[in-house]
């Protein structure tokens, strides 16, 4: 259930009016509902109840430690893809034995740190990586628990830039090579094979492709079993979508998703890992921005807001649709606006020809469903500092990431001595 609601014409997140937050925190900023994060987690957990499962939140979706801690307190593990994400997850209180380490390019120092911490498993994506993990583990006098990510060559209906499970993607080991790779792994001295990993893409709203992918996992399990290779963990990846556009999107059918897992995989008595990112946090956060100028033309009306593509990249990167709403409920007539940021690129556009009640300088708007792949994908293009993140719980709010100080950003540059005056 959404915690974003108008009360007395003011958009609230839980018990706090967004306009109250903006009195002490300059726009733009991200704000998340802690209660929604908790509810999303608990609802997935109850969906999977009675299945031996572990939810490992995909930290790449939202790596703020307050978010990670909120999830860890409910028992979540973490799916990390870098040393930085691993450290954040551990600092936030995720126990190492609930951490899986994915990603195609793990470097030796990252592998070493993860091994020392005693993580649950490495999700291996290539033969070269397998040899490297084995080498590092020998050096550390440890054995590395691994799953091998297979590429099931299953297409899903999502944006081309976020599909991952087809043969032309860089992810996983081709299905035809999977068996040989498992046999190789099983023979490496410092590798303990424990799982099969699959992840087919993101923002999946029709769950049927999971069936084809899990069928391949089941086939492989049987072949490995026949060879005496003992698989205990099936890591089913993430990918469940959310409804960004109520007029066009549907939500994934979670009962069907669970049924697919049961139908295809339950005979094996393995532990299931799932790695949801977007479905746990996307709808829990929004980006609050102030209208700097309106610019009314004969052809187009522009609203120039103080958030930009560097703060929130999804619309410019994927042409992603995000609902945009005024913070103050208004009875003014609607106008069609292109909502754009101040960055010097035409792609710095959040919405085109969007109907909103008339707005002017100083009005606040929220861009919705920014709680996943929002703040984490921001940058400092046009020398714009990273913006603040805020969390609301009931009637309280707190800054969970300070806005980056402009001087700190500028002072990262160094002038070589041949240029020093």
> Residues 65, 70, 102, 163: which binds ligand LLP (CB under 6 A)?
102
CA dist 108 and 129 (Å) reads 9
Q: Which residue in the list 140, 243, 344, 370 is annotated as catalytic?
A: 344
Is there a contact between 216 and 241 (Cβ–Cβ < 8 Å)? no
CB of 132 to ligand LLP, least distance (A): 19
Write out the binding residues for ligand LLP, residues 79-98 only, by CB under 6 A. Answer: 79
Cα–Cα distance, 74 to 42 (Å, whole number)? 8
116 assigned ligand-binding residue: no
Pair of tokens at residue 363: 């009005």
Examine residue 203 and tell whether it contacts ligand LLP (CB under 6 A).
yes
Nearest to ligand LLP of 77, 239 (CB atom): 239
373 is in an annotated binding site: yes
Question: Which helix (H) or strand (E) segment is 34 a member of?
Answer: helix 34-47
Residue 243 falls in the annotated catalytic set: no
Residue 18 as a binder of ligand LLP (CB under 6 A): the answer is no
> Which of residues 61 and 185 has its CB atom nearest to ligand LLP in the complex?
61
Report the distance separating Cα 21 and Cα 72, nearest Å. 26
Q: How many residues bind ligand LLP (CB under 6 A)?
A: 22
3-state secondary structure of 258: helix
Residues 307-366 that bind ligand LLP (CB under 6 A): 314, 318
Q: How far apart are CA 45 and CA 76, in angstroms?
A: 10
Distance CA 117, CA 111 (A): 10
When asked if residue 279 is in the footprint of ligand LLP (CB under 6 A), the reply is yes
Beta bridge partners of 392: 33, 397
Please, which residue, 320 or 386, has the CB nearer to ligand LLP? 320
Is 275 assigned to a binding site? yes
Distance between CA 76 and CA 59 in Å, rounded? Answer: 11
Whole-angstrom Cα distance, residue 376 to residue 393?
21
Per CB under 6 A, does 373 bind ligand LLP? yes
276 part of the interface to ligand LLP, by CB under 6 A: yes
DSSP 82: S
Instruction: Check residue 202 for interaction with ligand LLP (CB under 6 A).
Output: yes
Give the CA distances from residue 385 to residues 24, 77, 96, 369, 407, in Å, rounded to whole numbers and listed in that order: 18, 31, 32, 22, 9
Smallest separation, CB 392 to ligand LLP (Å): 22
379 is in an annotated binding site: no
Query: Which amino acids are annotated as binding site, given as ranges?
Result: 239, 275-278, 314, 318, 345, 373
Query: Which amino acids are annotated as binding site for substrate, given as ranges?
Result: 278, 314, 318, 345, 373
The residues of the shown chain that bind ligand LLP, judged by CB under 6 A, are: 58, 61, 79, 102, 162, 164, 199, 202-203, 237-240, 275-279, 314, 318, 372-373
């Amino acid at each position: 259930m959404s915690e974003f609601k108008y009360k007395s014409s003011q958009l609230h997140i839980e018990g706090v009016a967004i306009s109250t937050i903006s009195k002490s925190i300059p726009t733009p900023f991200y704000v998340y509902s802690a209660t929604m994060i908790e509810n999303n987690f608990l609802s997935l957990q109850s969906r999977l109840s009675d299945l031996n499962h572990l939810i490992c939140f995909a930290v790449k979706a939202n790596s703020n430690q307050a978010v990670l801690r909120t999830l860890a307190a409910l028992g979540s593990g973490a799916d990390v893809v870098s040393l930085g994400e691993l450290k954040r997850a551990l600092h936030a209180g995720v126990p190492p034995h609930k951490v899986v380490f994915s990603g195609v390019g793990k470097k030796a120092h990252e592998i070493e740190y993860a091994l020392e911490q005693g993580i649950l498993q490495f999700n291996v994506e290539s033969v070269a990586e397998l040899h490297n993990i084995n080498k590092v583990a020998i050096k550390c006098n440890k054995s590395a628990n691994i799953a091998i990510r297979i590429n099931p060559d299953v297409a899903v209906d999502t944006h081309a830039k976020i599909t991952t499970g087809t043969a032309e993607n860089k992810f996983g080991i081709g299905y035809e090579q999977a068996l040989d790779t498992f046999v190789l792994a099983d023979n490496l001295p410092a590798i303990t094979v424990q799982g099969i990993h699959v992840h087919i893409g993101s923002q999946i709203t029709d769950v049927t492709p999971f069936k084809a992918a899990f069928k391949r996992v089941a086939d492989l399990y049987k072949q490995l079993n026949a060879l005496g290779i003992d698989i205990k963990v099936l890591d089913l990846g993430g990918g469940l979508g959310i409804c960004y556009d109520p007029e066009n999107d549907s939500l994934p059918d979670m009962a069907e998703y669970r049924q697919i897992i049961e139908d295809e995989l339950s005979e094996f008595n393995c532990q299931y890992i799932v790695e949801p990112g977007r479905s746990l946090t996307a709808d829990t956060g929004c980006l609050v921005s102030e209208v700097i100028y309106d610019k009314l033309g004969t052809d187009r009306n522009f609203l120039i807001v103080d958030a930009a593509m560097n703060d929130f990249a999804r619309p410019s990167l994927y042409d992603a649709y995000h609902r945009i709403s005024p913070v103050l409920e208004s009875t003014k007539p609607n106008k069609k606006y292109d909502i754009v940021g101040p960055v010097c690129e035409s792609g710095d556009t959040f919405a085109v020809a969007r109907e909103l009640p008339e707005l002017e300088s100083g009005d606040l708007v929220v861009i919705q469903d920014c709680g996943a792949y929002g703040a984490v994908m921001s940058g400092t293009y046009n020398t714009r500092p990273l913006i603040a993140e805020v969390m609301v719980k009931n009637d309280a709010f707190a800054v969970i990431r300070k806005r980056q100080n402009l001087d700190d950003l500028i002072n990262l540059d160094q002038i070589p001595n041949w240029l020093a005056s």
